[in-house]
């Protein structure tokens, strides 16, 4: 069980390699994701105990210098967020639909965590920056009231950094909206 997740998002792929090395040398953390993302940015996502994750992210943010786009640490991250990032979620009986879009990968992960902690919803997907211009979005389902509460929490989270793009809530979505082909 992962109890803390942190990330550093950079505007430079080359600098990303240096920051990744710094983070992994700073403390004992597990690397979840390290890759280039659109448009020419780099993301590093790590997990572990709160103290080591905090130390690694702070060291990474400092090493990123002028290339830092965003960074975060989420202690006690909801397991649904990791499953949705890894695209391992299936929804048998979808209800109302909600989606939130943000300008950065970091902001959308933080917003997704805020959403699932705010209401009884099922996070379906967290899509991170590939083929969507460096943005991120997530989708979720639940009762209309729960989806509204979750989406509002996510909007507040992404809005604090000025990175919210858009949100949507659909009370009675067509089943095709939950297709894997979207």
pLDDT digit string (tens) for 81-135? 888 887 778 888 889 999 999 988 888 999 999 999 999 999 999 888 766 777 8
Burial letters 31-53, b for 16+ CB under 10 A, else e: ebebeebeeebbbbbbbbeeebb
Question: Among residues 75, 105, 127, which one ends one of the domains?
Answer: 75
Question: Among residues 38, 60, 75, which one ends one of the domains?
Answer: 75
- Note the pLDDT of residue 135: 85
Q: Which domain holds residue 67?
A: 4-75
- Note the pLDDT of residue 86: 77
Mean pLDDT (the chain, rounded): 90
Q: Is 43 in the same domain as 98? A: no
pLDDT digit string (tens) for 55-67? 999 999 999 999 9
Q: Give the rounded percent of residues in the chain with a pLDDT score beyond 90.
A: 64
Q: Is 84 in the same domain as 15? A: no
Q: Is 84 in the same domain as 44? A: no
Residue 136, domain CATH: 3.30.70.1710
34/6 Cα distance (integer angstroms): 12
Number of domains in the chain: 2
């Amino acid at each position: 069980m992962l109890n803390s997740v942190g990330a550093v998002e950079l505007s430079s792929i080359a600098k990303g390699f240096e920051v990744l090395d710094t983070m992994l040398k700073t403390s004992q953390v597990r690397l979840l994701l390290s890759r280039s993302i659109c448009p020419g940015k780099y993301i590093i996502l790590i997990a572990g105990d709160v103290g080591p994750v905090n130390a690694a992210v702070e060291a990474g943010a400092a090493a990123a210098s002028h290339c830092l786009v965003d960074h975060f640490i989420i202690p006690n991250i909801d397991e649904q967020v990791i499953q949705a990032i890894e695209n391992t979620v299936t929804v048998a009986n979808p209800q109302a639909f909600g989606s939130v879009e943000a300008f950065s990968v970091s902001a959308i992960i933080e917003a997704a965590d805020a959403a699932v902690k705010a209401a009884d919803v099922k996070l379906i997907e967290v899509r991170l920056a590939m083929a969507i211009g460096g943005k991120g979005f997530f989708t979720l389902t639940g009762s209309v009231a729960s989806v509204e509460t979750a989406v509002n929490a996510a909007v507040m989270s992404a809005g604090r950094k000025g990175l919210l793009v858009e949100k949507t809530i659909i009370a009675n979505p067509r089943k095709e909206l939950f297709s894997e082909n979207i």
